[in-house]
Structures are given as structure tokens and as C-alpha cells.
Structure 1
Amino acid sequence: MIPSDISQGTLAPRPSGPALAPAAAPDRTDPLWQAAQALETGFLSELLRLSDPGAPDTGFGGGAGEEQFRSFLFQAQAERMVEAGGIGLAERLYAGLSRAAR
């Protein structure tokens, strides 16, 4: 049985310190926003590459081309992930860099 204080979320850490104001929606044409998205895309692409166990050997063999073009697959997957909202890295980068630019 789950203790009631866990199921009610009372063990969740409470934020301390000043509350963060909600970030303003980034201007999608801002070069800083585009650079932040590009960095998140590169980061996710690299994560996908590092976490790839490799294609299973099906007996047909992908040849040298499969290995060479795998990075394009990871890049395309990362781009779709960022377009779908990503992991929030671009938003955090944009917020921090735009604050620093003021």
C-alpha cells in the first residue's frame, strides 16, 4: 500500500528562492532563437548517436552506406523533436541569452 503522503504528492520537493517569471514567447524569427534551436537540435542528435545500439544484423547487411548516413537520420529525428517542443533546452538558452543581451 502506498502511504497517503506519497500519493498526495506531499513528498515532492518544494521550490525555494525567488519564483521565476514565465518566459516570454520567443520571436521565431529572432536569430538568437534560431541559434538556440540549432544548438538543441545538435545536442539531441548527439544524444541519439551516443545512445544508438546499432542496427541489428538482419543478414542483408547495410554496407558502408548505412554507417555513413546514420548521422543524417539522427539529425532529422532531432529536428522533428525540436519542432515538436524538444526538451526545453532552446527555451532556457534563449531566456538566459536574451537576458544577458539586455
Structure 2
Amino acid sequence: MEISATVGPVDIAPKASVQVDPLRQSARDFEAAFIMQMLQHSGIAEAFGAKEGGTAEGFSSFLLEQIAGKMADQGGFGLAEQFYQALSARAERAEPGLDFRA
């Protein structure tokens, strides 16, 4: 059996930035924080060895943050969209000159 360790070229060019509505991003970030809190209290960090001490404990919060962010990016519980819709409606009814999106 032969194993090849050849790796193709890696694209390190910066990605084109996509303009995201700040209000939508804030709603997504809030949902991610909410999911992270739920994961912390669910005991999933202990499943990754956080209670054993050592390096696992130090990195479990980073892992949970990434898991929560990915969950929120994929729709999460739908909270971000609900927050966004509610805040957008409120922004439309706000006084002229006030911009909740900035």
C-alpha cells in the first residue's frame, strides 16, 4: 500500500468581503452567544474532557464558540431571523435620522 502526502496549492489570497447588514450580523451574533450558553450548561464541554483539566479545559470554550457560530450560521433555532425582523420593523417606525443599522 502506498500513501501519498502530496498537497495541492493553497489559496491564501484574501476573500472578497461581502457587505452584511450590521443589524442582521448582530442578530446572528446574539443567537450564537445564546447557543453557546446553552451548550455550556448542557455539559458538552465535559464530554470533550474539560473536567479533566489540562489543555482540554482551556480550549473547550473556543470549541463551543465555534460550534455555536456554525449552528447560528446554519439557521440555529431561528432566533436571529426573528430578532432581525423585529428590530427592522422597529427601525422603520423610529424617528427619522435614527439608524439602528449603524
Identify the TM-score tier after normalising by the shorter chain: 0.5 to 0.7
TM-score after normalising by structure 2: 0.63
Q: Quick check: 2:32–2:69 contact (8 Å CA) kept in 1? A: yes
Per the alignment, do residues 63 and 73 of structure 1 end up closer, same or farther by CA in structure 2, a change over 3 Å counting?
A: same
Q: Percent identity?
A: 39
Structure 1 position 56, deviation (Å): 7.4
Unaligned runs of 5+ in 1: 1-27
Structure 1 position 63, deviation (Å): 3.3
TM-score after normalising by structure 1: 0.63
> Could you list the runs of 4 or more consecutive aligned residues of structure 1 that deviate by over 4 angstroms after TM superposition?
none
For 1:8-87, list aligned pairs within 5 A.
29-52=20-43, 54-55=46-47, 62-87=52-77
Unaligned runs of 5+ in 2: 1-18, 93-102
Cα RMSD, aligned residues only:
2.1
Tell me the matched-pair count: 72
Per the alignment, do residues 86 and 56 of structure 1 end up closer, same or farther by CA in structure 2, a change over 3 Å counting?
A: closer
Deviations 1:44-91 (A, max 9, x none): 01100010152377xxx9533211211111111111111211110000
